[in-house]
Structure formats: structure tokens, C-alpha cells
Structure 1
Amino acid sequence: MKAPVNPQWTVRGRRDRVSLRVRRRAAFVACALAALCLVVLLASLLTGQFSISVPGVLRALAGEGTLQQRYFVNDVRLPRVLTALLVGAALGTSGAIFQSLSGNPLGSPDIIGFNGGATAGALVCIIVLHDSSLLVTGSGAVAGGAAVAVLVYLLAYRAEVTGYRLVLVGVGMNALLGAGIAYLLSRAELTDSLNAQIWMVGSLNGRSWDEVWILLVVLALVLPAAMALSRPLLTLELGSDSAVSLGLSVHSVRRWAIALSVLLSAASIVAAGPISFVALAAPQIAKRLARSVGPSLVVSTLTGSCLLAIADLVSQRVFPAAQMPAGIATIVLGGLYLGWLLLGELRRGRA
């Protein structure tokens, strides 16, 4: 009788003080998604109204080639696709944390209201303070998202925070924030209101290296801490009582998870505006690809990057003259994805 094949690799440090288990399928999926990100990056650099060959792109990246090639590759296309990849990574990780924390596939920042809080904070800076700089809008987004996160947590707290109650309170808070945002837009001057509405669609047009560096700094600080929460979040999915019996500090894990997710959501909103669907769908797609029972943060991060980068590439190539915002493309893809899920549930007799 053959022994069952272990679907995991165990990586051990010196003297076995540190060990890490890596699921083989998750590792293969992560490598495939990383390769897909590179393909999308190369395709984004190659295609456009001003066509550039592969040698031309390589020369431009090396600082050589013609002035036009260096401008379109280094100043226009590369910052845009890198922003798409980084924003997608932030949204995918944030959505995976929230869905694991709430135990509900609807527990994403754009459903619970944290994105709405960050959006409202940024809009106050744009409309009321008349300051649209990255520093000011970033501070407003973080403050708004943090305020809504604290409020939702307190309203959902009844001896403990359950995922079902967290989602219900978050949906109600999201509706209130939508009304507040509509009021802000109605009271703003016409020019400010139009600029704010364009920004709220979520777009990667005109992204520069400023957004790229901000996202890189935030992700470099937040992603390692988020990955360290993978095992505690997996333990928390067993239930609060089971997690406490295993020695897990439930309230501490929840507070850290919410704080990290809010930071990731706020950073993505500052860089590209409120982009819908990615945080909702990326963790679910990642779970199906990796066939994991836990949050699968690494795969969710790469899935979010692929989703947003592909959506932006499609929006540029399908409507080259109109330059359709990436936020609209993600909404369309999200509707198709949810319709596909519904058809699958109908076939299984669950809907």
C-alpha cells in the first residue's frame, strides 16, 4: 500500500528554529500568476497608439532609444501598469483579510464601507479643503477609513464581533456613506464636483511615479505584516472559542487585521480612486485556483494584480480613443463573474 503523497513542502531554517509549510498547488498557482503579471506588463509596454517593438522597449528601459520611446515607455506606460499591479495587490490582500475575518465572501472593503470611508475622507480634502495633493488626500483617506473601521467595529461588538453582524453593520454604514458622499458632491462647486465624480469612477489614466513610490512604500511595510497574519486568520476561521482555546489573542488579531486592511484600501484609493470588485472577487478566485481553505493571501495578492492589470489593458485596447477608466472595466468583469457564479449555483441546485 502506497503512502499518501504530501501536497506540501516543509522549509526549515537552521537548527529547525523556523519552519514554513508551503502547499504545492498554491506555490504553482502563485508562480503562474506572477508569470501572467509579467506578460501583462510586457503587453502594456508594447501596445498602444504609438507602437514600440520589443527591442525598442528594452532600449527605452535601459535609458537608450529615441526620445519618444523613452517618454512613452518610462513616463507613460510603465508607471501606469505598475500602479495597476500594485493597486490590485493591495485590494486583493485587503479583500482576503476581510473575507477571512468575517467568514463571509461579501466581507470586502467596498461592501462593508471601509472604502466608502476612505473615499469620503479623500473627497473632504478635494471638495472642502480644495487640496488634491497626494499627501493631503492620502491623509484624509486613511483618517476616513480608520474612523469608519472603528465605528463599524464598535457597532458590531456584542461581547464579540461575529462575521455576520460585521457585514450587516458594514452594509448599513456603506449606505450612509453613499448618502454623505452624494451630499458633498451636491454642495460642491461645479468644477470640483465634476473632478470628484471623475475621480470616484476609479482610473489609472495619467498615473505617475509618485503613485508608484507611495504604493511601494505602503506595500513594503504592510504586506509582510499581513502575511504574518495568515496562520492566525486561519485559526480564527475555526471560531472564536476554538481560537481562544488554542491560545490565540482573538481581539488583537482582529484589530491588526482591520488596521492593515484599511491601510491597504486607503493607499489604493489615493493612487487610483475607488475601484470596485477587485477586493471582492480576487480572494474567491484565488481560493478556487489554489483550492485552499484559508485566506491564501499570497495567491490573493497576485490574483488582484492580474485582475486589475488585465482590466486596464482591455479597457485601453477595446476603447483606445475614449480611454475607458479601469474602474468601469472591473465593474463589467465583476458582473460577468458574479453571473458565472450564479449559473454555477443554479446547475448545482443551490440557488
Structure 2
Amino acid sequence: MPRIQFGRRYIRLKWPIQMRIDVKNLTVTAILAGAILVLALYGLMAGTMQLSLKDLWQVFSGEAAKMTSTIVINWRLPRIIAAVVFGAGLAVSGAVFQSLTRNPLGSPDIVGFTSGSYTGALIVILISKSASFLGIAAGALIGGFTTAILIYLLAFRKGTQGFRLIIVGIAVSTILSSLNSMLLLRSKAEVALTAAAWGVGSLNGISWDQATPAMLIVVVLLIFAAVMNRPLREMELGGDAAKSHGIRIEPTQLVLILIAVVLTAAPTAVMGPVSFVALAAPQIVFRLTKSAQSFAPAAAMGALLLLGADIVAQRIISGTILPVGVVTLSLGGCYLVWVLFRQARSAM
């Protein structure tokens, strides 16, 4: 006799905490984690100086030559770890916004928070004539926060509706893009080139000193996002259902928006604005798992996308290392057209 399926399969844990784990989400996350590990190993071995698995083992066991250890530990490893952590942060940020707005186009780069971070960094670079990493990072963080607060206040009217948040965000993003162009045109050529290069989004030359503070922030906020996952899923059932379960809608939305903004602003402060990872990763995972109950698959997909895009950026033209934002922008543009095409067909 055929077995009757009563829904999705779960694994119940009783220790160290009681929880249910979706088997399909766990499987997809495990496969993505394996792919990330393979890409990370390839990223550590490939380059001008080709290495083998034996060489990597010697590096991490402390038996390798000093030059080999420097290349792996100080040059290649921070770039790979940053791509994984920042990709996960961007993907979870996109998943939060898409859930709050209930729209596949609800992501930080579409809504405008990424443009706000870029504006803050531009003001530091062009007006204060500062090219220091800390100054640019602080400008990007302040710009992202200011934009988020502005969009939230403009979209708030007896509550925050997802569609209104997207429309206001697109409008603010357009204004900020025009402001960014004006700032670039009115600046000196060499300063404008520096600002434009940062604005593409790149992991080139990233170091532990630059990446570690932002990575720690992203990891901590990923934990907070996991804690806020249940209230977010309750709100997806509707305002009345969420309130009946004891969820305070507006404070919860505000906390989730702040978490998502920082998950976008922290990576942007280090590598510049990288588009479409936050947009594409949650949607790809949703099509694989048919569920949005967990952030883990989205985080793994975001890490895989950014790491893969960075490796492609390093190998796409022999002898040239492109900014990772060039690759994500090219692939993401195609994905955005596909999403709009699907929405147009479903509306017919």
C-alpha cells in the first residue's frame, strides 16, 4: 500500500533545547555547506601560486614555508571567510525584508538601504577628503541607518505595510542614486575614481583587520535573526493571528528592520555595495525547499553565491581580478528580469 504523507518531515530534538528541524531544510543546508567547503578549498589553492591539499595541510599544521603561510592565512583566507560571512548576512537581510514586505522584490538593494550606505561612504570620501577605512565604514553605517529610519518614517501610516515600504524605498533609492551621481560629478577626478571603485563592491585586498569587526557584527546579528525567526513567521499569518499569539507587531517589525539593516550595512561598510545577493538567495532557497521556516538555508545560499561570484571575478579574465560586485550585478540583473517576467505572467 502507498504511504500517506501528512506534510513535511521533521526531526525532534530534546537536548540541548527542544526544537523541530525540517528535514528538507536540513538536507539543502548540508548540500550547500558542502559546496561552500569545496569552493573555499579551491579558493585557497588556486591563484598565481598554485597549492595542493597537502600544502594546505602543512599551512594549517604549521609546517609550511613562511611565504606559503602568508599567502594562505593573510591573503586568501580572510577573503574567503569574509565572502562566506557577508554573503550569509546579506541573504538573511533579504529574507527578512521579503518576509516583512511579502514580496520577492523586497530586498535591501531594491528598497534603498544599500544606496544609503553608499551615500554615507561617498560623503566621507568626497566631502571630508578622507580615504581611511574606519571613516568610510562609519559613513556607510550611518548612511544605512539614516536611510532606514527615513524610509520607515515615510512608510509608516497606522502601521507599516510591505507594499508601501517597497514603493517608498524605491523612491528614496532613486533620489539617493541621483545625489550620488551629483557628488561624483562635482568632485575631483582622482577622488571620484576612488569613490566609484569602492561603489562597485569588492573583496580585493581585504585583510583580517578590516573584515573581523564587521564579521563579528554579522555573526551576532545572525543569531539575533534566528531568535526573531518565530515572531516573523507568526506575522506572516496576518496581523490578527500574530496578535492572538502575543506578538507586538510594530516593535517586532522595527527590531527586524534594524537587524536586517545592520546585516546589510556592516558588509557594505567593508566591501562596498554588492547587489542582488540579498535579492536572489532567499528566492532560490525557497524554490529548493518550498519553505521559508528557517534562515539557515538562505544564509548558506548567500554564502555560496558571494563566494562563487568572488572566485569567478578572480578567474573570468586571465591576469585581471574584477570586483565581485561586477559579477553579482551582471547575474543579478538577469535574475531580476526573470522575477519580473514571472510576476507579469502570474498577474495575467
Task: Give the TM-score band, short-chain normalised.
Answer: over 0.9
Paired AA for residue 333 in structure 1: L
**Who is 2:115 aligned against?**
116
Q: TM-score, normalised by structure 1?
A: 0.92
- Note the C-alpha offset of 1:154: 1.0
Give the C-alpha shift of residue 215 in structure 1. Answer: 2.8
SS of structure 2 residue aligned to 1:161: coil
Offset from partner CA, 1:237-288 (integer Å, 9 cap, x none): 1222322232211111111111111111111111211000100001101111
Native 8 Å contact 2:43 2:80 kept in 1: yes
| TM-score when normalising by structure 2 | 0.93
Q: 1:52 to 1:224 in 2, by over 3 A?
A: same
Segment drifting more, 267-276 vs 50-59: 50-59
Alpha-carbon separation, structure 2, partners of 1:190 and 1:293: 46
Alignment correspondent of 1:262: 261
DSSP-derived class of the 1:205 partner: coil
For structure 1, which segment, 181-190 or 226-235, has the greater mean C-alpha deviation from structure 2 after superposition? 181-190
SS at match of 1:267: helix
CA contact (8 A) 1:61 1:73 kept: no
Secondary structure at the counterpart of residue 305 of structure 1: helix
What residue number does 2:10 align with? 8
Q: Matches of residues 1-351 of structure 1 in structure 2 within 5 Å?
A: 4=5, 7-13=9-15, 18-294=17-293, 296-338=294-336
Shift of 1:155: 0.8
Contact 2:12 2:19 in 1 (8 A): yes
**Contact conserved, 1:156 with 1:166, CA < 8 A, in 2?**
yes
SS in 2 for 1:10: strand
CA–CA separation in structure 2 for the residues paired with 1:211 and 1:320: 27
Structure-1 separation of matches of 2:212 and 2:275: 23
- 31 and 154 in structure 1: CA distance in 2 versus 1, 3 angstrom threshold: same
Q: CA deviation at 1:216?
A: 2.7
Between the two proteins, what is the percent identity of the paired residues? 38
**Which secondary structure state, in structure 2, belongs to the residue aligned with residue 160 of structure 1?**
coil
- Alignment RMSD: 2.0
Q: Is the 8 A contact 1:86 1:215 kept in 2?
A: no
> Cα 1:288–1:211, aligned 2, differ >3 Å: closer, same or farther?
farther
Structure 2 Cα separation of the partners of residues 263 and 326 of structure 1: 21
Deviation track 1:218-237 (CA, whole Å, cap 9, x = no partner) reads 02321111111111111111
2:12 maps to a residue whose letter is T
Q: Quickly say closer, same or farther: Cα 1:208–1:55, change in 2 above 3 A.
A: same
After TM superposition, give the deviation of residue 345 of structure 1 in Å: 7.0
**Structure 1 residue 211, shift from structure 2 partner:** 2.9
Counterpart of 2:13, as a letter, is V
Shift, 1:126, TM fit: 1.7
Distance 1:341 1:163, change over 3 A: closer
Aligned residue-pair number: 346
What's the CA shift for 1:176? 0.5
Change (3 A) 1:188 1:85: same
Shift of 1:135: 2.6
Which whole-Å CA distance do the structure 1 matches of 2:320 and 2:211 have between them?
A: 24
Output the CA distance in 1 between the equivalents of 2:318 and 2:19.
46
* One-letter amino acid of the counterpart of residue 203, structure 1: S
8 Å Cα contact 1:83/1:271 also seen in 2? no
Change (3 A) 1:188 1:63: farther
Change in CA separation of 1:341 and 1:106 when aligned onto 2, cut-off 3 Å:
closer
Note the alpha carbon deviations across 1:155-193, whole angstroms, 9 max, x for none: 111111110100000000000110111121122222111
CA contact (8 A) 2:111 2:166 kept: yes
